[in-house]
Amino acid sequence: MDKSFNYIISPEISEFRKFSPKLKIGVLASGRGTNFQELINLSEKGDLDVDIKVLITNKDDAGCIKRAESVKIPHKIIRDNDFLHRELFELEIVNNLINHDVELVVMAGWMKIVTPFFINKFKNKIINIHPSLLPAYKGGSAINDAILNGSKITGCSVHFVEEEVDSGSLIMQAALSIRDDDDIESLSKRIHMLEHKILPLSISHAGFLIRSNFMENY
């Protein structure tokens, strides 16, 4: 982790939970897959007790595909425009997750808003990482919005997914200062570094809640 900038993480969870058997996760990603790669690395080192059962992407050229192939993680490309209805698209995703016996769904750069149909199939078992300090700057242009608004502080958040976009219960957040000379590229780079820090810890905590059945009555 680059120490060239200051940041704050809350809550200050620094250790991963242990799972036996390993927590079975499915990852949904639409882009380069740098968060996905961090999960692969931590899993291979034995730091994070997860079994990445499947990667699902909606983009043929997503960088995350090669990352999955390089370590022989099953992957599936499911394109929304291949289906007549949104529910059929999501049903295909749900069936793939169920077929791989996934316990926790991790949205790591998944650029599609999910419907109540999807959410209810994995109630309280879907988490998402978002590049802002929620509830500030919801939606798909959070980093740019923070700069345009003149914000002095931003960061990233991991939350459980609810029907309202970017509104579910927070698991962990990381905050950093916005520099006067920041642009989208420079700020995104630092935020992504914090995402790599808090997403694995949030997966560990969410897995603990799921395994302990806490979320059944949440």
How would you classify the pairing of strands 7-10 and 126-130?
A: unpaired
Catalytic residue among 75, 85, 100, 130: 130
Backbone angles phi, psi at 212, to 5 degrees: -90, 0
- State yes or no: is 100 an active-site residue: no
Give the residue numbers annotated as catalytic, written as ranges: 130
